[in-house]
Amino acid sequence: MKIGIICGHGNGDPGAVSPTFGSEADFVRKLAPLIKKYLSEYAEVNILDTSINWYSYLQSNYFDFSEYDYIIELHGNAGAKDHGGNGKTTGIEIWVTSLEQAITVEQNICKAIEQFGLLNRGVKVCDFLVITAIKKQGVSSCLIENGFIDDFDDMKLISDNIEEYCKILARSISEGFGLKNKEDSSADENGKYVIQCGAFKEYANAKRISDKINSIGYSNCISKINDYHKVYVGPFKNYETASEVSANLNKNKIDNYVLLNN
């Protein structure tokens, strides 16, 4: 699986600004390499050119995002007006486009960041320019508002624990997609749904599909049932996640269908 990270603002546009913690543009450019570091344990990750202000750029230019399976656009929120710190966070929220079918990955991120200590404002829908341009190319995308730049408590919590924040964010994305750690090939916990990716008389044919799925980063196994070697991805706890992975497999030209895990 290939994941892209876009940093909001930049190229002269600071975004929101905190008197204590600096600009939103600089803040998200600190998060991106750390998220990449931790997410790379599970997927191929690329930070898109941070010198570009993608919001401005995409208004008059086309960019091909189709090599990616998922793209996150990083921002910080504004409007809390709590520069002194009132002991309460204003929180994280994630935006997806109205074209997005499933939001289980984004809900998983919000829940994980809630555990980290930020208020969970949930997943919301708006056709923001960058994520819509990406989604129109068939690539899932979301815009993450990583706390409020103008909330002292949000920024202090994240800045003081920036490694931990990025690690949790990366883990929640990989968990949401059911990606296995590249160094840990152990089987997943029991889930309700699996994805079958073909049934083959010849083991070699099943192995070829299995290898291809491994190269994308999904945990899978080959089971011999009634003379057929069947390739399974998963299991998954919920149907929406299985469907999202199924769509990514289709995109990589691997025929598959979701079924109940018996």
Please, which of residues 116-135 interact with Zn ion by CB under 5 A?
Answer: none
Count of residues that interact with Zn ion, criterion CB under 5 A:
3
Q: What is the largest CA-CA distance in the chain?
A: 68
Check if the beta carbon of residue 3 is closer than 8 Å to that of residue 72.
Answer: yes
Q: Is 147 in the site for Zn ion (CB under 5 A)?
A: no
Which of 43-51, 70-78, 193-201, 207-215 is the region at the interface with Zn ion (rule: CB under 5 A)? 70-78
Name which of 75 and 121 has its Cβ closer to Zn ion. 75
- Closest approach, Cβ 144 to Zn ion, in A, equals 10
Which regions of the chain does DSSP assign to beta strands (E)? 2-7, 17-18, 22-23, 44-47, 70-77, 92-96, 120-125, 140-148, 193-200, 220-225, 228-236, 257-260
Name which of 74 and 112 has its Cβ closer to Zn ion. 74
Name which of 14 and 85 has its Cβ closer to Zn ion. 14
CA-to-CA distance for 134 and 71, rounded, in angstroms? Answer: 8
Please, which of residues 74-103 interact with Zn ion by CB under 5 A?
Answer: 75
- Closest approach, Cβ 8 to Zn ion, in A, equals 4
Residue from 15, 178, 217, 234 in contact with Zn ion (CB under 5 A): 15
Pairing of strands 120-125, 92-96: parallel
CA-to-CA distance for 171 and 95, rounded, in angstroms? Answer: 19
- Closest approach, Cβ 95 to Zn ion, in A, equals 11
Name which of 75 and 171 has its Cβ closer to Zn ion. 75
Which of 13-21, 173-181, 232-240, 250-258 is the region at the interface with Zn ion (rule: CB under 5 A)? 13-21
Q: Is 4 in the site for Zn ion (CB under 5 A)?
A: no
Residue from 8, 10, 234, 235 in contact with Zn ion (CB under 5 A): 8
Name which of 134 and 216 has its Cβ closer to Zn ion. 134
* DSSP letter string, 153-179: HHHHHHHHTHHHHHHHHHHHHHHHHTB
For residue 234, give the nearest of 261, 204, 198 by alpha carbon: 261
- Beta partners for residue 212, in sequence order: none
For residue 240, give the nearest of 126, 113, 108 by alpha carbon: 108
For residue 203, give the nearest of 225, 183, 186 by alpha carbon: 225
Q: Is 29 in the site for Zn ion (CB under 5 A)?
A: no
- Closest approach, Cβ 23 to Zn ion, in A, equals 10
Judged by the rule CB under 5 A, the positions of this chain that interact with Zn ion are 8, 15, 75
